[in-house]
Structure 1
């Protein structure tokens, strides 16, 4: 097993949550970013077309990576450069130290490069007695502060100008006011001497073109251009994933990278370097012209293995714009120093795992809540949450689960009767702390879980014990039959909502059955990476639902619907029998609101108008909107009731529940919930509608303590109320 890194994630989280400077900076940035990005795309006909072009090109590149690397090396060396191939970070250090020794290098300037951070290059060079200076303003300040970047594009985004001035004073031993213009002028003055006296410059590359051996540098400060032109030696450290075939392919990156990374149509500097460039200097009283030396180091460090991996090769579609961080609700709360290792956020978790440190990956990978906000904005269209799930599964397969997880998953969730019996026992055991349908306060060290958010109580009578009576009201001549897959929450926590689902379907002349052998959909298990246990659960559900012979399978939980419809097929892709059964099942699965909206239209049905004058807003579940692509239909159904519907700000931003995450990381979950409750309050609505039991649990618990005037209701409950009033 890999050597465990000593990180106290809990302590780090609390430190960052208490960092008011960082919290203010990230809150401001992440709230302004989406609109600023869209403005940068204002003159673009189709963002999706640009993304598709980039993805297609990058997919071709990774499938031909060996040939591209050969062509790139040939092109660089044909123009006078020299190419090294480094299998590991240690190889890079050896190559660089050899270059420095052969050329008498003493002073080095660097532009921002995450690859050098990845291999901890600076420390190795300094240990060898070399003077190394970062020239990116943010990186320079972080190096003085002894910190690492918290963002791949804006490394010092977590700092304010007063802190920056303090670092200037610490480095320069002079008083520096917290005036941005003054600090920039000071940096220019100090760094100018570094550029002029440097023997060697190190840059990364945003891309490397196989066709002509050129590298591209996209910057706003211009320091990278100086690093390539003032020293006599230029070293490029570039990962294999940055290689692209043709010079025309650079445009595919340049149309997206600045807009997504810094919300600009183009950055201030776009530098292309193709081979060594001439340098003119005075020697013995005469002007001398000669070519600089250019060395290019192609870094592997796990990249070539990823290129050959059918799933993980999708990371080659990343252009390091960091837009996935800019919309990530977890990065917004804790920053990149917590949610990262070298690279931050969800893509950072993936890169950490692929570049050889699965132990570091396991430390923070569960901070990804799978909200899929990153997938909607990634220029390379990388399914980041899916790749994290894949790496989690590989980690579990290699190292196994912890004993508590193993017990819960393999000995409880796979045995439906045991699982459900424990839930029934829980409904009795909770009574001393239960207040109505909520648990408002927990004692001792559990108290933090109910600080500002109530927990839902387990129902005294679950849905499965009510369905026999409910199904007696099925229509005699139904238009179709439906099997209802309720999921755990609707079965044991929100059975009243489960009843509403059945009543709405019956009102549409649909006969409903409730297979008693159904159990948890398995998402909690699969999300933790235990696919073998997930398969056991999936088989139980497939058999239970097949036995009904129903025309459709209805789920009013989007997480369950997505798991039944999509995840099971992927789970059994290598098992022909169960793959076919999973595919047949998936063909029948329908999410409740989209199915009901379709049936109302098909049957020409309307709803009686709700005369209570409700003002309703709607929260989009992550799995609903970005997993299933369902968002219009719930709104249509709410409007059909005659309610005064009002949109809330950031309706599709995660509420912070995300299954077990909301309990395991309640300290992060609750601030995310607070933002959601604030947006709800600003609508003036008396009801917030949802279509997901987990969101109902999170938002309802928050409202119960912080704004009890507003109620949370599943769309099924709102529809059922109208039907009852008919």
Structure 2
């Protein structure tokens, strides 16, 4: 399965149509315009409250919906499984003598593979949504939850239409739309049944709400004499007014529209053209949704309103799209839904595509912690089946400070034949792929922990415990020296607990929470020795561990005894530039006057920007130190490092790096800075490989001589 995934990734990255396909839309700009004057945080908090409450009582809401809809003349069936839903619709088709069906867009019908099932009974199901019809003609599943045929070119679509209509066609999009409209229109009049989904189901009134841009859903639900709506239980909301915030957010987040072209509320059957009453059937489908709602962690995913904004901003999805990153439901949220609507095992491979940058989390209209839930999938998989032997062994080595540090010291000697100007640019034989797209950093001949002992510091009343992190300690020790010198100028004496080791983020990110808890336990007490005023961290990922995750991990692993100390560490922890910004504002650090002006662009590491919420502070500190900041496009988009991600998914990682380097070069800045040694490894290596004049440097090295 992993080989198949690797092959599909390679094929997707080779497809020039997929490269940057979402960029041509300029989604961030159009979405921002659509949300002008709207408090997005307040809106999504309201949606999260409504949907979160509903997820806690789906059974109750389903019964209320059924009672009220049936009082209005609608027939409601609650299907426990995909099989029950399919069978109900098939039996209804048999009872009514249905041979032809028209369908509007419905991810729920895709979920249960309804078209294929009905085909076994000789029933023809025709998609009428343009994107879905294109996918049907191509015998493919949707690659995007809102734009199903996103992955196909106009040339490919023209060929599909020409084959279907038996007429020669050119690639003019407007003409192709007219051809599709003409071909689909006749199907509405021939159909015995219309099948739709629904965006919202309102328990209070027994109504369903359908949002579309093409108007096909109105024809599907009105022309045939029988209308069936297949609706997942998660679409239920208690009251009529609950639909308003969803309708306000859905089009804006999905397609940057203020509203969809059509919003249909269906509360009761209407008359057919011949005067008979239309039959309306609503199938409310469980298919593990109730089980999901009972799970204290995954219940949150049922808040999803299917806007697919998470796909539009995901740097991985933007490269490979949904036929690689997903099953029926695509992207990060699709991975979670797949794990529940199918089974955990089916999401095992696709969850590994998530780099954990959290872009999806900050744009989600329902405040779902998508990367956090993917991490939970990893944790459960690791608990149930264990990690692969090699990867587990590597994590165990990292967790053994003496062994790991001995290996790094040995590597600094063994690497010498391959090191030139601080980089490893070429490796022999089977290792050559590691340096194909970027130069690799060399291990420093003297680690920071050794250099620290040689630094003469003044005796100060305030103390800061310095948590260096593995990369700065053994790869970028000069940045560590710079941090000590700068803090000394502010009247802070730096302590370096020698027992410190890996923060546990690699273990946490792999789902191995037990080893992450081991890492936390080893570090907490050494960092509190001497009762320091601050714990300063030079790495955004490590800051996340100390400030946000250690206490949570210890609680998760039932190691409560150290939680008070973990919280104490968290309360004292500052990312280096965060502390420098504070010290400048307190006038404890004074920038020199008359400094030569240099330009830099700043890369926000994912952990800094979205895990610990630090973005302004580094810029303020660097600006105060005399640097002109030239913002790059997508400054907070992942560089592709992602720790072990760059080894597990090298092709995707390098494509993300390529995009980041293009954005850096476009600024014309002298330097690019990032407060994450992992990002610096990626950026420095990429810039060196490309022969760029721009240098990637840690903020501490840029600021070390800038204060009095």
Tell me, yes or no, if structure 1 residue 103 matches structure 2 residue 58. Answer: no
Stretch moving more, 606-615 or 487-496: 606-615
CA contact (8 A) 1:610 1:643 kept: no
Stretch moving more, 458-467 or 249-258: 458-467
Q: Report SS of the residue matched to 1:553.
A: strand
Q: Report SS of the residue matched to 2:323.
A: helix
CA contact (8 A) 1:258 1:267 kept: yes
Tell me, yes or no, if structure 1 residue 476 matches structure 2 residue 469. Answer: no
Following superposition, the deviation at residue 521 of structure 1 comes to 0.6
Distance 1:59 1:307 in 2: 9
- What is the aligned partner in structure 1 of residue 545 from structure 2? 563
Distance 1:7 1:304 in 2: 34
- What is the aligned partner in structure 2 of residue 309 from structure 1? 295
Distance 1:548 1:426 in 2: 33
CA contact (8 A) 2:288 2:341 kept: yes
Q: Report SS of the residue matched to 2:149.
A: coil
CA contact (8 A) 1:413 1:537 kept: no
Q: Which aligned pairs between 1:332-351 and structure 2 lie closer than 5 A?
A: 332-351=318-337
Deviation string for 1:92-120 (max 9, x for gaps)?
11111111111111111111111111121
Q: Which aligned pairs between 1:243-258 and structure 2 lie closer than 5 A?
A: 243-258=236-251
Q: Report SS of the residue matched to 1:112.
A: coil
Stretch moving more, 129-138 or 351-360: 351-360
Q: Which aligned pairs between 1:313-328 and structure 2 lie closer than 5 A?
A: 313-328=299-314
- What is the aligned partner in structure 2 of residue 284 from structure 1? none
Aligned match for 2:568, one of 566, 575, 584: 584
Q: Report SS of the residue matched to 2:494.
A: strand
Q: Which aligned pairs between 1:134-145 and structure 2 lie closer than 5 A?
A: 134-145=127-138
Following superposition, the deviation at residue 633 of structure 1 comes to 1.3
Stretch moving more, 639-648 or 561-570: 639-648
Following superposition, the deviation at residue 544 of structure 1 comes to 2.3
Aligned match for 1:711, one of 686, 690, 695: 695
Deviation string for 1:248-289 (max 9, x for gaps)?
1111101100001011001111111112221122xxxxxxx1
Aligned match for 1:619, one of 595, 603, 618: 603
Tell me, yes or no, if structure 1 residue 421 matches structure 2 residue 406. Answer: yes
Following superposition, the deviation at residue 605 of structure 1 comes to 3.1
Q: Which aligned pairs between 1:651-670 and structure 2 lie closer than 5 A?
A: 651-670=635-654
Unpaired runs of 5+ residues, structure 2, are none
Tell me, yes or no, if structure 1 residue 531 matches structure 2 residue 531. Answer: no
Following superposition, the deviation at residue 353 of structure 1 comes to 1.2
Distance 1:126 1:536 in 2: 55
Aligned match for 1:455, one of 421, 440, 454: 440
Following superposition, the deviation at residue 24 of structure 1 comes to 4.5
Tell me, yes or no, if structure 1 residue 37 matches structure 2 residue 31. Answer: yes
- What is the aligned partner in structure 1 of residue 348 from structure 2? 362
CA contact (8 A) 2:211 2:264 kept: yes
Q: Report SS of the residue matched to 1:338.
A: coil
Q: Report SS of the residue matched to 1:109.
A: strand
Following superposition, the deviation at residue 612 of structure 1 comes to 4.0
Following superposition, the deviation at residue 511 of structure 1 comes to 1.1
Deviation string for 1:330-351 (max 9, x for gaps)?
0011111111111111111111
CA contact (8 A) 1:483 1:545 kept: yes
Q: Report SS of the residue matched to 2:502.
A: coil
Tell me, yes or no, if structure 1 residue 202 matches structure 2 residue 195. Answer: yes
- What is the aligned partner in structure 2 of residue 545 from structure 1? 527
Stretch moving more, 569-578 or 346-355: 569-578
CA contact (8 A) 1:375 1:381 kept: yes
Distance 2:418 2:208 in 1: 64
- What is the aligned partner in structure 1 of residue 467 from structure 2? 485
Q: Report SS of the residue matched to 1:291.
A: coil
- What is the aligned partner in structure 1 of residue 65 from structure 2? 72
Q: Give 4+ residue runs of structure 1 displaced > 3 Å after superposition.
A: 609-613
Q: Which aligned pairs between 1:125-524 and structure 2 lie closer than 5 A?
A: 125-281=118-274, 289-410=275-396, 412-470=397-455, 473-478=456-461, 480-524=462-506
Q: Report SS of the residue matched to 1:298.
A: strand
Distance 1:651 1:263 in 2: 22
CA contact (8 A) 1:688 1:711 kept: yes
Distance 1:530 1:538 in 2: 13
Distance 1:489 1:663 in 2: 16
CA contact (8 A) 2:2 2:349 kept: no
Distance 1:177 1:373 in 2: 39
CA contact (8 A) 2:491 2:588 kept: no
- What is the aligned partner in structure 2 of residue 286 from structure 1? none
Does the C-alpha gap of structure 1 residues 497 and 368 become closer, same or farther in structure 2, counting only changes over 3 Å? same
- What is the aligned partner in structure 2 of residue 26 from structure 1? 22
Following superposition, the deviation at residue 54 of structure 1 comes to 1.1
Does the C-alpha gap of structure 1 residues 500 and 468 become closer, same or farther in structure 2, counting only changes over 3 Å? same
Following superposition, the deviation at residue 475 of structure 1 comes to 2.3
Does the C-alpha gap of structure 1 residues 296 and 105 become closer, same or farther in structure 2, counting only changes over 3 Å? same
Distance 2:23 2:434 in 1: 24
Aligned match for 1:88, one of 77, 81, 87: 81
Q: Report SS of the residue matched to 2:230.
A: strand
Distance 2:72 2:351 in 1: 43
Distance 1:91 1:556 in 2: 56
CA contact (8 A) 2:20 2:318 kept: no
Stretch moving more, 253-262 or 678-687: 678-687
Does the C-alpha gap of structure 1 residues 138 and 540 become closer, same or farther in structure 2, counting only changes over 3 Å? same
Q: Report SS of the residue matched to 1:721.
A: coil
CA contact (8 A) 2:500 2:526 kept: yes
Unpaired runs of 5+ residues, structure 1, are 282-288
CA contact (8 A) 2:596 2:626 kept: no
Distance 2:572 2:522 in 1: 17
**TM-score, normalization: structure 2?**
0.97
Distance 1:609 1:632 in 2: 23
Deviation string for 1:409-433 (max 9, x for gaps)?
23x1232111111222222222222
Aligned match for 1:689, one of 651, 673, 683: 673
**TM-score, normalization: structure 1?**
0.95
Following superposition, the deviation at residue 392 of structure 1 comes to 0.8
Following superposition, the deviation at residue 157 of structure 1 comes to 1.0
Distance 1:477 1:494 in 2: 26
- What is the aligned partner in structure 1 of residue 657 from structure 2? 673
Distance 1:664 1:406 in 2: 14
Tell me, yes or no, if structure 1 residue 720 matches structure 2 residue 704. Answer: yes
Deviation string for 1:359-391 (max 9, x for gaps)?
221101121111111112111111111111111
Stretch moving more, 144-153 or 348-357: 348-357
Aligned match for 2:586, one of 595, 602, 606: 602
Following superposition, the deviation at residue 204 of structure 1 comes to 0.8
What's the C-alpha RMSD, in Å, of the aligned pairs? 1.5
